[in-house]
Chains A and B, each alone.
Chain A
Amino acid sequence: MAIVTISRGCFSHGKDIAEKAAEFLKYRCISREVLIDASRHFDVSEKKMLKVLHDAPGMVEKFIHGTDEYLCYAKAALIENVRDDNVVYHGYGGHLLLPDIPHILKVRIISDMQTRVAYTMEKENLSYNEAVLRIKKEDEHRKAWTRTLFGKNLEDPFLYDTVLNIGNMDIDDAAGIIADLALSDSFKTTRASREKLDDYAIQIHASASLYRHHISNAGIKVKDKSVMVYIPPRRIRKTAHMSPKIEQEFMENEKKVLNRTIKEEVKKIPGVKEVYCSFDEPFFH
């Protein structure tokens, strides 16, 4: 009983290995489609969702945190699809979108350039040079995406539980290794890891729910299904005089509205026991 995420270099047979491993394990095999489905569930643009999941954000988007909301929705969709275990996920950054939880097996599949080029030439009907260019471009894309959004190096082996070089390995062997590992005691779902995953799922759903209500900067912690939401100070630019009374009323009203919205929305998430909110006063500057 485990969750397997497979991160693969492009044209490294990752999809085939994932499907084969799922077949060995009798697990479900899911791919990036579940993330794109999130756009329908959360009623946001599918085009933008695809862009966020594929392209590294530009300077402006990075500055205004334009991609955070979409990533949160993708995480919520993925967690919903994997939280019942027995699933192999291959596709956009599963190892980054899912938390560091013991029963999630994170696999990276790599392959030497020649094998990948040959596979690409055959699959995409490209010349040698075109295939090399294509692979290099895609690799750069994925590296930039991981670096910009998560501050991580895609090729860092510490991000994964295992890295498989399939240069000299056939698909069945690679899938067999993954299946054996997934069934080992190390990746068994325990009560503690299940609770950790449930808390994480609540955290992500709470975050997505608050994004839906335009509350984008909340700090959310979940422990034993109790949610603690912290709202950092909001920066408000004083453009004209404001009496201390209005300032006080403004702050009280802001807290009241936020408290009500947060409690109402987060309590709707299945499994949530309690919701506690704390606020920093808006900061006038």
Chain B
Amino acid sequence: MTPEMITTMIVLVFVIFLFVFEWVRVDVVGIIMMVLLPLIGLVTPKEAFIGLSSNAVCSIIAVIIIGAGLDKTGAMNRVARPIIQLAGKSENRIIVLISGTVGIISSMLQNIGAAALFLPAVQRISKRVGIPASRILMPMGFCAIIGGTLTLVGASPTILLNDLMVLEGEKLEPFGLFTQTPIGICLLLTALLYFVLFGKYILPSAGGDTNEKDATSSLMEEYEGFENIFELEIPQSAEKHGTLEELAIRPKFLVSVIGIRSRDKKDTNLLPKSSDIIAPNDVIAVAGREHHVEKLAQEYGWKINETLNEFAETLAKTNAGMAETIVSPRSELIGKTLKEINFKELFGLNPLVVYKDNKKFYSGLTNIRLKMGDAMLLQGPWEKFHILKNRPQPRDLTFATPLEGEILRPQKAKLAITWLAVALVQIIFFKIQLSVALMSGALGMIITGVLSIDEAYRSVDWMTVFLLAGLIPLGIAFEKTGTAAFIAEGVLQIIGNPVPIVLLGVVGIMTSFFTLVISNVGATVLLVPLCMNMAVMAGGDPRMAALVVGISASNTFVLPTHQVNALIMRPGGYRTVDYAKAGLFMTPLFLVVELAVIYFFYGIN
């Protein structure tokens, strides 16, 4: 053993110690490595920071920006909607369609994002169809994790592989984006089959939390005067029409008009004022209790539409909603009425309720004199809420509820998908390096206004960036000093000289175990150099050994602490033991399928 190898061993023990006991966060371990390794001379200063410019880090940043772009345009919601409609009422069909889609989405985008996209829908379906959420959410979560194995950029461990595959100073041939896809597809199908066949035996029937109310629905429940938003048609023959003031809808029926659509003028007014006219053939949107709205419709001879038609887009949850605000100290609104400040014109929002002196006022709002601490329930487009929130201090109104809606750019959805396609075409057909192709897609999105550069910067997950960037030099030091080869030789002396597929089996088991105990990226960095050396010594393919490590690092089903499992834990009402139960079979199944595909598809035997 050389002195460098001894030092590397000490560093490795230190790193494993930090990984296991987690005294500092795993990304901080990465930064420690960036600093420590060049200081003790195991890597050069240039090598210490090479991770920041690595293929892995640049690819992950680009993937995150592309994901944020798709998110910003609501493109993923468009994918989700028909899938949810297709899912129907059959438990197996729901599991296959939703989990399969989540798996495919997480092949390129963040797995937790894919799961979060479908989570509210699953909760709604579960409530409607009467299937416990726990029966659908775990398959969905497991498929989100497995989806990460479909492509090289689906999960952090596989993204790292190309940067870690160096043997005796020589870079090995890098993996393509879809090299591992056959394994990922088989794993995804296995998981789906596993839950369809055995789901009822291994999944609990806990109800979980199916109360998927968003902030607007919760507010409507709190302010008892509102149950829902309804759409009313004013028939051509309607006798009752005129200005809002004349019709006295709010004082008489406690119903607030929040939109008037004039079909004749082809104009939609989302800030109706008392002087605005409701004419025959118009459609109006109102917020109120169902029986109040029925009474209004009955008395005035108007017709209630079953769903929102004319206002479906403008009042969709992604475009508009409600928020509770409070008159701030030193606000310019103090001592004034809404009429005096021309509130609707000023803020572009509809005040629905004023909560003053512990009383809720549903009508006569314009004449109420505001004082500090009065609360107001406002309704309107998210964009206007954001403008209100961004006003300089001291703000007139402070938000008492989180502002759930963000400004989406649905008109840019096609552009976002085009840029993703451009990136993929470069990778598949022109064999352009992953990071370059993906970054060009991300750049395209920024240049064409899918998302701004600041939004792109804000979307980056710096923890993952520094985790990857920091641990790459550790992998380099492990290999460069010959420590990986030394340990590999020792391990092979103990386990003998197995045939390649058996060796890969050992590698898979080792990685699956390590990834339960320590970070999956940490496990990959430590095991890739080691396992590649073992493979070479045993006469196997080092690239396959690296691939098995990268994929097996996603074999994390038995613990609820992993991010996707954590996301679905409370909504699914799961206990730790439920993950252990479902994961106990999934973990060996994952390894068996992975190795079987490698054996049959990649010709390793």
Contacts and interface: CB of A to CB of B under 8 A. Distances in A.
A214 B112 CA distance: 22
Interface stretch (B233-241, B473-481, B557-565): B557-565
Interface in A94-116: none
B570 interface: yes
Interface stretch (B355-363, B459-467, B530-538): B459-467
B461 A241 contact: yes
A247 B116 CA distance: 11
Nearest to A214: B575
Interface residues of A, number: 28
B116 A241 contact: no
Interface in A226-276: 234-247, 249-250, 252, 254, 257-258, 260-261
A241 B460 CA distance: 9
Contacts of B402: 252
Interface string B197-234: 00000000000010100000000000000000000000
Contacts of A246: 110, 112-113, 116
B555 to A, nearest CB: 11
Contacts, number: 101
B451 to A, nearest CB: 12
B461 A239 contact: no
Contacts of B148: 240
Nearest to B116: A246
A150 interface: no
A123 B110 CA distance: 68
Contact of B464 (A236, A238, A249): A238
Interface string B60-73: 10011001100100
Contacts of A243: 64, 67-68, 71, 110, 113, 459-461
A101 to B, nearest CB: 33
Contact of B570 (A238, A242, A245, A258): A258
A284 interface: yes
Chain A at the B interface: mostly helix, strand, loop or mixed?
mixed
A209 to B, nearest CB: 15
A64 B580 CA distance: 13
B399 to A, nearest CB: 13
Interface in A191-233: 213-214
Interface string B15-26: 000000010011
Contact of A285 (B22, B155, B459): B22
Nearest to A243: B459
Interface in A11-43: none
Given A238-B563, A240-B112, A245 B459 contact: yes
A284 B463 contact: yes
B563 to A, nearest CB: 5
A282 interface: yes
Contacts of B573: 213-214
A261 B210 CA distance: 12
A242 B556 CA distance: 17
Contacts of B26: 238, 285
A30 B267 CA distance: 78
A237 B67 CA distance: 21
Chain B at the A interface: mostly helix, strand, loop or mixed?
helix
Contacts of A250: 112, 116, 567
A216 to B, nearest CB: 9
B564 A214 contact: no
Given A257-B571, A285-B22, A237 B116 contact: no
B519 interface: yes
Q: Which of A238, A254, A285 has the most CB of B within 10 A?
A: A238
A241 B459 contact: no
A2 B564 CA distance: 52
B67 A236 contact: no
Interface string A80-102: 00000000000000000000000
A234 B25 CA distance: 14
Contacts of A238: 26, 463-464, 467, 519, 563
A148 B278 CA distance: 75
Nearest to A250: B567
B156 interface: yes
Nearest to A282: B566
A235 B116 contact: no
Contacts of B464: 238, 240-242
A57 to B, nearest CB: 16
Nearest to B467: A238
Interface in B368-405: 402
A260 B463 CA distance: 30
Contacts of B211: 257, 260
Contact of A241 (B156, B458, B562): B156
B279 interface: no
Interface string B452-472: 000000111101100100000
B520 interface: yes
B64 A254 contact: no
B110 A241 contact: yes
Contact of B461 (A236, A244, A258, A261): A244
A238 B563 CA distance: 5
B209 A257 contact: yes
Contacts of B25: 284-285
A129 to B, nearest CB: 43
Given A245-B459, A246-B116, A239 B562 contact: yes
B111 interface: yes
B142 interface: no
Contact of A239 (B68, B459, B520): B520
B501 to A, nearest CB: 27
Contacts of A254: 570
Nearest to B569: A214
B209 A236 contact: no
Contacts of A242: 110, 112-113, 461, 464, 563
Interface in A137-160: none
Contact of B563 (A64, A237, A249, A257): A237
Nearest to B106: A240
A8 B564 CA distance: 50
A255 to B, nearest CB: 10
B561 A249 contact: no
A257 B63 contact: no
Contacts of A258: 570
Given A250-B112, A261-B209, A244 B561 contact: no
A238 to B, nearest CB: 6
B507 interface: no
B133 to A, nearest CB: 12
Contacts of B209: 257, 260-261
A243 B559 CA distance: 22
A233 B406 CA distance: 27
- Please give me the 4 A-B residue pairs with the lowest Cβ-Cβ distance, nearest first: A241-B464, A236-B566, A241-B461, A257-B570
Interface of A: 64, 213-214, 234-247, 249-250, 252, 254, 257-258, 260-261, 282, 284-285
Given A240-B154, A246-B110, 19 more contacts: A214-B570, A234-B566, A235-B22, A237-B566, A239-B111, A239-B563, A241-B461, A242-B113, A242-B464, A242-B563, A243-B64, A243-B71, A244-B458, A244-B461, A246-B112, A246-B113, A250-B112, A257-B209, A257-B570
9 contacts: A234-B566, A239-B156, A239-B556, A240-B110, A240-B148, A240-B156, A243-B68, A247-B461, A250-B112
